[in-house]
Structures are given as structure tokens and as C-alpha cells.
């Protein structure tokens, strides 16, 4: 690694918590206050005081303030700290297995998926303003040769992923008589197909379903079968892991 590459890797790591903080704020403000998300000042949700830059340093501010607002001592949402740490982990895992250029692309996808997962946790829906651009970015990345899929595999992966999920959703509705999977899940699987190609889709679906099942078992949610559970966060996690592994395999195969 050259000095320049080390500097770029450190920059990507430092960007992680900032991206996590932005992903959390996006989920908090989606869909009605997205203008605030882009242009507004951050405020304490309880005392409405505008927060200063020193209160907004990801991870560090939470630790210095011991998880409380500087002005009114209201507890700061722990999900913010979780999102910042998770986004750092995304950047770290990408840097660990990939050269910094490819790692940046994979980390960007990971941070975008984190925002989608956080919205799904709150609202039980995956936002179109995230899934659709992610899908298009996957096709574009395939055309520019920076995604694991070739352009043809990317297009067929997106189409197959979407069609398969719509079919499963219809079957579920037919058998159970209610909605189980949303179109947002279908668009996210289509995006995974666009980035990784159709051959990776069985792995994405298997890992996603397995994690969702384990989470339902561990949290005791299986005892309340009428409660809807978000599938998006687990699909997003599976999408990111498969993309990371596929990109690393592509990198290893190149001379």
C-alpha cells in the first residue's frame, strides 16, 4: 500500500460514522421532512435547540455527552450511535478485503442499504428514493465494469429478482389471505440482482431469510405471528455481504 492509498483508506474509515449519522437522520425524517434532512440544522428533538458542530461529531459527541443532550439532558437516540458504528463496520470490512477504490464503491452501497434498513425498521417499507437509484447504479456500475455482474447479467438479475419476489408475494397473499412481502422488498432484491447478477440471488435470499428467521426466533416474535416483521434489514445485510464477497472474488480473479 502506498502512502496515498493509506490516506484514502483512512478517509473512507472516517467517512463511515458520518455516513451512518446521515443514514439515521434520513430514516428519522423520511418521508415528510427530507428537505430538512438536506438543508435543515440538526436540533434536539425535545428542547428544539439547534445543535452546534461539537454536538454533532459522530460517535465522539455521544461519548463526551454520555448519551444526553447538552442543553436539556434528554437521552440521545441510541439508534444514532448504532448506525454510526455500523457504518464504520461497513467501511472497515470493505477496506479489509478490497483495494480502496473498489472498497469505496462497496461501502457506498452498504451505507445506502443501511439507510433503507433503518427506514424499514421504523415504517415497514423500503423507500423508492433509495431502492430505485440503487438498482440503476448497479446497472451503471455493471456497464462501467465496477460491479461483479456483467451488463447482461446485471439486467437479467434485476428482472429475475423483481419477478421472483412478486411471485412469492402473490403466492403468500393467495395462501395466507394477507400481504406479507411488499414491492419494496422486490425492488431491493432487483437491486441486488443488478449489482451481483442472477446467480447470486439464491444466496442473497437464503442468507436474508435465514437471518430474519433467526431474529424472529431470538426476539420471541414468532409467538406473535400477526405482528408484521420487517424483512428489508435482513435482505439489506445479505445483499451487502454477497456484494462484498463477490467483489473480493472478482478482485482475486484479476491478474
Q: Which residues of this protein are in contact with Zn ion, per CB under 5 A?
A: 44, 46-47, 69, 71-72, 74
User: Minimal distance in Å, beta carbon 55 to Zn ion?
Assistant: 10
List of residues 6+ apart from 62 with CB closer than 8 A: 76, 80, 81, 84
- 25 versus 165: smaller Cβ distance to Zn ion: 25
Task: List residues bridging with 68 in a β-sheet.
Answer: 75
- 49 versus 176: smaller Cβ distance to Zn ion: 49
User: Minimal distance in Å, beta carbon 74 to Zn ion?
Assistant: 5
Under DSSP, the state recorded for 179 is: -
Q: Which long-range contacts (CB under 8 A, 24 or more apart) does 75-84 make?
A: 77/24, 77/28, 77/45, 79/24, 79/118, 80/21, 80/24, 83/20, 83/21, 83/23, 83/24, 83/114, 83/118, 84/16, 84/17, 84/20, 84/21, 84/24, 84/58, 84/59
User: Minimal distance in Å, beta carbon 79 to Zn ion?
Assistant: 17
Q: Which of 205, 234, 246 is nearest to 126 (CA)?
A: 234
User: Minimal distance in Å, beta carbon 27 to Zn ion?
Assistant: 20
User: Minimal distance in Å, beta carbon 35 to Zn ion?
Assistant: 22
User: Minimal distance in Å, beta carbon 53 to Zn ion?
Assistant: 16
Using the structure block, give the residue that is written with the C-alpha cell 411488499: 182
Q: Which of 96, 116, 119 is nearest to 106 (CA)?
A: 96
- 68 versus 170: smaller Cβ distance to Zn ion: 68
- 37 versus 71: smaller Cβ distance to Zn ion: 71
User: Minimal distance in Å, beta carbon 19 to Zn ion?
Assistant: 24
- 66 versus 178: smaller Cβ distance to Zn ion: 66
Q: How far apart are CA 190 and CA 193, in angstroms?
A: 5
- 67 versus 180: smaller Cβ distance to Zn ion: 67
- 5 versus 33: smaller Cβ distance to Zn ion: 33
- Residue 117 near residue 233, CB atoms below 8 Å: yes
Amino acid at each position: 500500500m502506498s502512502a496515498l492509498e493509506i490516506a484514502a483508506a483512512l478517509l473512507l474509515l472516517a467517512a463511515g460514522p458520518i455516513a451512518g449519522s446521515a443514514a439515521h437522520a434520513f430514516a428519522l425524517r423520511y418521508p415528510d421532512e427530507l428537505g430538512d434532512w438536506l438543508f435543515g440544522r440538526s436540533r434536539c428533538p425535545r428542547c428544539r435547540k439547534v445543535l452546534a458542530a461539537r454536538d454533532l461529531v459522530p460517535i465522539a459527541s455521544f461519548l463526551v455527552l454520555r448519551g444526553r443532550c447538552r442543553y436539556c439532558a434528554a437521552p440521545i437516540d441510541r439508534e444514532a450511535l448504532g448506525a454510526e458504528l455500523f457504518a464504520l463496520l461497513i467501511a472497515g470490512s470493505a477496506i479489509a478485503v478490497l483495494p480502496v477504490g473498489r472498497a469505496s464503491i462497496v461501502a457506498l452501497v452498504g451505507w445506502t442499504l443501511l439507510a433503507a434498513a433503518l427506514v424499514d425498521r421504523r415504517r415497514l417499507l423500503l423507500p423508492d428514493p433509495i431502492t430505485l437509484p440503487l438498482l440503476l447504479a448497479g446497472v451503471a456500475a455493471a456497464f462501467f465494469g465496477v460491479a461483479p455482474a456483467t451488463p447482461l447479467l446485471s439486467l437479467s438479475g434485476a428482472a429475475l429478482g423483481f419477478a421472483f419476489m412478486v411471485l412469492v408475494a402473490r403466492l403468500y397473499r393467495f395462501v395466507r389471505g394477507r400481504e406479507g412481502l411488499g414491492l419494496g422488498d422486490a425492488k431491493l432484491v432487483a437491486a441486488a440482482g443488478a449489482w451481483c447478477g442472477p446467480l447470486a440471488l439464491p444466496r442473497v435470499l437464503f442468507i436474508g431469510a435465514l437471518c430474519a428467521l433467526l431474529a424472529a426466533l431470538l426476539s420471541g416474535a414468532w409467538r406473535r405471528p400477526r405482528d408484521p416483521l420487517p424483512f428489508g434489514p435482513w435482505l439489506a445485510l445479505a445483499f451487502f455481504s454477497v456484494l462484498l464477497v463477490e467483489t473480493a472474488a472478482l478482485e482475486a480473479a484479476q491478474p
